[in-house]
Amino acid sequence: MATQNDLAKYAGVSAGTVSNVVSGSTRVSEKTRRKVEEAIQALNYQPNLIARSLKTQRTHTLGLVVPDITIPFFPRLIRAVEAACRERGYFLVVLDSQENHELELDMLALLRQRVDGILLATSGDGDWTEAVSSQILSGPPIVCVDRVPGKLNVDSVCVDDRRAAEMSVSHLLSMGHREIAIVTGPLTLKNEQERLRGYQHALQMAGIRPKNSLVWNAGFQENEVEAICQRNLLRSQRPSALLATNGVTGLGALKSIYAIGLSVPNDIAFVTFDEIAPDTVFKPQITSVIQPTHEIGFRAVELLLQRILKKEQDLPRSRIRLDATLVVRESSRRYGISD
């Protein structure tokens, strides 16, 4: 691999001048620029990024930590973020914390020296103690995407969780349901709190008093979700509709519905946040709250780069909220109405 020094010798100029050409400085005459560019061609020069990083203290790389790469939502988010990075000339490294807070903190630590900024969709499993938070916040800037820890004071980009939940509940109400249960993920996440709030608010607006017995708070462990759903579904008065606030509880709830031998939507109507399977082939097709993945990714990268590049002016915290879309499919169709 040729170095700038080699170029300098080949072109008969100094190393500093070569550097100026390579980094596109204007302080170089046309003539020498041309000479250096020839040398670049001739020696097939590629700048050494590691050396550059050592000098500039910038890696020109962003990190994205997702909580579970096997959930279909996250690959889509990854693609969006990757596209945004590519557009801005940044390299992206993706890590999967496997819904494990310890691992997540490890990964954040690993990223610290390797990236200029971090996009974080946190695991639901997190404590985010004061100590941990300040430790993390002392590293490269962070923007939370999709999943926002309740306690951490950071920039974030996600959907308007409350409205999305309200929309889902309104839909179920309009289908004639009055007994609507909700199965949430961990309430340590701001999103889950908001989605729950939206659910409660929509019910109240419709003159229905939310019942605690219809709020099923689960974590993100499959077994846990299924156990909680099964237990509740087997009780004497089963709700006529169920809203899951994310893909994990959605899939878990659906599994438990089937395990018990109920069918959707005839025995129980079902709506979930996020897609949990390819939507055209498999039955039942699930009514879902779809997030604008692409926009989330782009806005998050944009925000993060602002933080990175304009560190001078301490921007106020941004909480960007985007609109989600409810896609109505079979699983919430009115009783007894079929294809």
Task: Assess 76 for contact with a copy of itself (CB under 8 A).
Answer: yes
Closest CA to 118 of 88, 95, 152: 95
Strand order in the sheet with 91-96: 91-96, 61-66, 117-120, 142-145, 155-159, 319-322
Task: Assess 283 for contact with a copy of itself (CB under 8 A).
Answer: yes
Non-local (6+) Cβ contacts of 291 within 8 A are 73, 146, 158, 159, 273, 274, 322, 324
Which does residue 4 bind out of DNA, a copy of itself, none, counting CB within 5 to 8 angstroms by kind?
Answer: DNA
Whether 293 contacts 159, CB under 8 Å: no
Site string (27-56) toward DNA, x via CB under 7 A: xxx-xxx-----------x-xx--xx-xxx
Closer of 21 and 254 to DNA (Cβ)? 21
> Which residue type is seen at 124?
G
**Rounded (5°) CA angle 18-24-30:** 70
Whether 268 contacts 297, CB under 8 Å: no
Contacts to a copy of itself from residues 4-63, by CB under 8 A:
46, 48-51, 53-54, 59
Task: Assess 128 for contact with a copy of itself (CB under 8 A).
Answer: no
Which does residue 278 bind out of a copy of itself, DNA, none, counting CB within 5 to 8 angstroms by kind?
Answer: a copy of itself
For a copy of itself, which residue of 238, 255, 294, 329 counts as binding (CB under 8 A)? 255
Tell me, letter by letter, the H, E, C secondary structure of 22-84.
Answer: HCCCCCCCHHHHHHHHHHHHHHCCCCCHHHHHHHHCCCCEEEEEECCCCCCHHHHHHHHHHHH
> Which residue type is seen at 303?
L
Among 11-19, 86-94, 197-205, 228-236, the segment contacting DNA (CB under 7 A): 11-19
For DNA, which residue of 22, 93, 260, 322 counts as binding (CB under 7 A)? 22
> Which residue type is seen at 83?
A
Tell me how far, at minimum, the Cβ of 120 lies from a copy of itself, in Å.
Answer: 16
Tell me how far, at minimum, the Cβ of 89 lies from DNA, in Å.
Answer: 14
Strand order in the sheet with 180-184: 215-217, 180-184, 241-244, 269-273, 287-290, 325-327
Among 34-42, 89-97, 160-168, 330-338, the segment contacting a copy of itself (CB under 8 A): 89-97
Among 1-9, 60-68, 150-158, 179-187, the segment contacting DNA (CB under 7 A): 1-9
Closer of 66 and 142 to a copy of itself (Cβ)? 66
Task: Assess 294 for contact with a copy of itself (CB under 8 A).
Answer: no
- H helices present in 97-246, as ranges: 101-112, 130-137, 161-174, 190-205, 222-233
> Site residues (CB under 8 A) for a copy of itself?
46, 48-51, 53-54, 59, 69-70, 72, 75-76, 78-79, 82, 91, 93-96, 98, 110, 113-114, 251, 254-255, 258, 276-278, 280-284
> Site residues (CB under 7 A) for DNA?
1, 3-5, 12-20, 22-23, 26-29, 31-33, 45, 47-48, 51-52, 54-56
